[in-house]
Amino acid sequence: MNNIKQDHASASTEFNKDEAHVDWHDETLWFVRSKRDKAVFQIPEWEQLREAGSQIKNHVLSNMHDYLVEFEKKATENGIKIHWAADGQEHNEIVYSIIKNEGVNRMVKSKSMLTEECHLNEFLKEKGVEVIDSDLGERIVQMRQEPPSHIVLPAIHLKRAEVGETFHQHLGTEKGATDPQYLTEAARQHLRDTFLSRKVALTGVNFAIAETGGFVVCTNEGNADMGVHLADVHIASMGFEKIIPKVEHLGVFLRLLARSATGQPITTFSSHFHKPRAGQKMHIIIVDNGRTKQLGRPDFRNSLKCIRCAACFNTCPVYRRSGGHSYHTAIAGPIGSILAPNLDMARNADLPFASTLCGSCSNVCPVKIDIHEQLYKWRQVLVQEGHVSSVKSLGIKSMSTILSSPSFYRTAGKLGRFLMKNSPFMTNNNLNVWYQHRDMPDVPKESFREWFIREKGGK
């Protein structure tokens, strides 16, 4: 995997140079979180619904093999071609071979975070295949040659003026135009041409149902349907964890997903696909790409319950103020920070530390992933596996020595409040960093312990 340009902390420092923009970003996402709150508080049984979602997913994780086999069998009976991809590369090659087989060099794609994870667009570009993302937000970031910064709202880091400028450059809209209606209409016209001229359409999968071999794709723009209804070939890419056992379970997940994602009671389009229509070909690519490995990690396996609603992003006080790109991984935010180290520990060692462990993510998660606990556990793993700098290790080790010994601690304290310099959070003599924007408390005349001994005679 590529090396990262900047770690989370430096990228965030960069992002925070424009404080007004950070405020806007924070408030925009907080608004989504508030909408989610309003929507879920209308459902008295919300917490039971989360519990049900979580239990179903846990059950699937424990019976993955059986459900995948069942799904493959049913889908094949329905006339869908199933492909298995061990990793991103294999996934991309399968997609390419299907496109090549059709004798075309263009494809339309609705939102699929999995293809971001596999870097499909870059791969196909190199092969001379043009991919147009049909989700509006995806299209915007694609034109700007940026990755999405959010899994539900890919262009949420951009203000209207920036979108206007992008459209001006790429779609020839008027310079300086920011009217959303005007801009959306321009995008719509441009995408309409794309839809009409593409023979191959790729979609993601939100839920794949083992008992029927069908799958559901949720969008708000209807772009997935538009793409596949007009195309001769429909490719659906899914991570294997998208499986749910029965159709009736959709009643749990569709309710959880839309409310958690955007505060809507249901996504505008929940499209159910079961078999290719006459004359159409349908492929499903089931991707592993590290998921088996994650499934084998007892502490982290339940991160695979994720239904990609992004509620954890919207509630995360760090994400709201650092922006999605600071996470340098396809899936940003709290969930990204527990998924990414599984794929590449060295590259993503900074991410589990990009959190205050406030726990809000775990509370909003519709499938009850203990995200903040996994962040804590990844920290332990990353240190044990040697992915934390030796300077930091040294600082922590000496701190640990002092704090493990009452006499050291007391002597250190007497020698001028050692915590001033070696305070636990000042590892590595980071006092200067603290001082950039904060003062330290005044040093008291005596410590509590000294007061206690003086006042109470040490008893």
Query: Does residue 366 belong to the site contacting ligand SF4 (CB under 6 A)?
Result: yes
Beta-strand ranges (E) seen in 95-250 are 106-109, 130-133, 200-203, 207-209, 214-219, 233-239, 243-244
- In whole angstroms, the minimum distance from the beta carbon of 50 to ligand SF4 comes to 10
Query: Does residue 365 belong to the site contacting ligand SF4 (CB under 6 A)?
Result: yes
The entry of another protein, ligand SF4, none near residue 458 (CB within 5 to 8 angstroms by kind) is another protein
Q: Which is nearer to ligand SF4, 158 or 309 (CB)?
A: 309
> Helices H, strands E: what count in the chain?
24, 10
Query: Does residue 24 belong to the site contacting another protein (CB under 8 A)?
Result: no
Q: Which is nearer to another protein, 65 or 456 (CB)?
A: 456
The entry of another protein, ligand SF4, none near residue 399 (CB within 5 to 8 angstroms by kind) is another protein
Q: Which is nearer to another protein, 20 or 278 (CB)?
A: 20
Residue with tokens 């209606």: 181
221-260 binders of ligand SF4 (CB under 6 A):
260
- In whole angstroms, the minimum distance from the beta carbon of 37 to ligand SF4 comes to 14
Residue closest to 365 by CA, chosen among 39, 1, 54: 54
Among 21, 28, 35, 43, binds another protein (CB under 8 A): 43
Beta-strand ranges (E) seen in 232-354 are 233-239, 243-244, 269-273, 281-287
Q: How far apart are CA 366 and CA 259, in angstroms?
A: 9
Residue with tokens 């159910």: 272
- In whole angstroms, the minimum distance from the beta carbon of 18 to ligand SF4 comes to 27
Beta-strand ranges (E) seen in 258-370 are 269-273, 281-287
Q: How far apart are CA 164 and CA 176, in angstroms?
A: 6
Q: How far apart are CA 131 and CA 202, in angstroms?
A: 10
Are 188 and 194 contacting, i.e. CB atoms less than 8 angstroms apart? no
The entry of ligand SF4, another protein, none near residue 9 (CB within 5 to 8 angstroms by kind) is another protein
Which tokens hold the place of 365?
């998660």
Residue closest to 348 by CA, chosen among 365, 369, 326: 326
Q: Distance between terminal CA atoms of the chain?
A: 60
What residues contact residue 247 under an 8 Å CB cut-off, 6+ apart?
209, 211, 212, 214
Query: Does residue 411 belong to the site contacting another protein (CB under 8 A)?
Result: no
Among 87, 126, 265, 425, binds another protein (CB under 8 A): 425
Q: Which is nearer to ligand SF4, 252 or 399 (CB)?
A: 252
- In whole angstroms, the minimum distance from the beta carbon of 2 to another protein comes to 23
Q: Which is nearer to ligand SF4, 186 or 310 (CB)?
A: 310
Residue with tokens 């959880």: 256
- In whole angstroms, the minimum distance from the beta carbon of 318 to another protein comes to 5
Q: Which amino acid appears at position 386 of this protein?
A: G
Among 85, 367, 382, 419, binds ligand SF4 (CB under 6 A): 367
Are 221 and 267 contacting, i.e. CB atoms less than 8 angstroms apart? no
Binding mask 284-313 toward ligand SF4 (x if CB under 6 A, else -) reads ----------------------xxxxxxx-
Query: Does residue 216 belong to the site contacting ligand SF4 (CB under 6 A)?
Result: no
Helix axes 46-62, 64-77, angle to 10 degrees: 90
Q: Where does this chain touch another protein (CB under 8 A) — which range of 179-187, 195-203, 292-300, 349-357?
A: 349-357
Q: Which is nearer to ligand SF4, 94 or 338 (CB)?
A: 338
Which tokens hold the place of 376?
């804590």
Query: Does residue 345 belong to the site contacting another protein (CB under 8 A)?
Result: no
Query: Does residue 31 belong to the site contacting another protein (CB under 8 A)?
Result: no
Among 37, 102, 146, 162, binds another protein (CB under 8 A): 37
Going by their DSSP bridges, the two strands 81-85 and 281-287 should be labelled as: parallel
Binding mask 369-388 toward another protein (x if CB under 8 A, else -) reads -------x--xxxxxx---x
Residue closest to 215 by CA, chosen among 271, 287, 283: 271
Q: Could you give the C-alpha distances from 28 to 14, 39, 254, 260, 313, in angstroms and in order?
A: 19, 17, 24, 16, 12
Q: Where does this chain touch ligand SF4 (CB under 6 A) — which range of 191-199, 216-224, 316-324, 361-369?
A: 361-369
304-343 binders of another protein (CB under 8 A):
315, 317-318, 321-322
Q: Where does this chain touch another protein (CB under 8 A) — which range of 75-83, 87-95, 295-303, 410-418?
A: 410-418
Contacting residues toward ligand SF4, per CB under 6 A:
260, 306-312, 335, 364-367, 369, 371
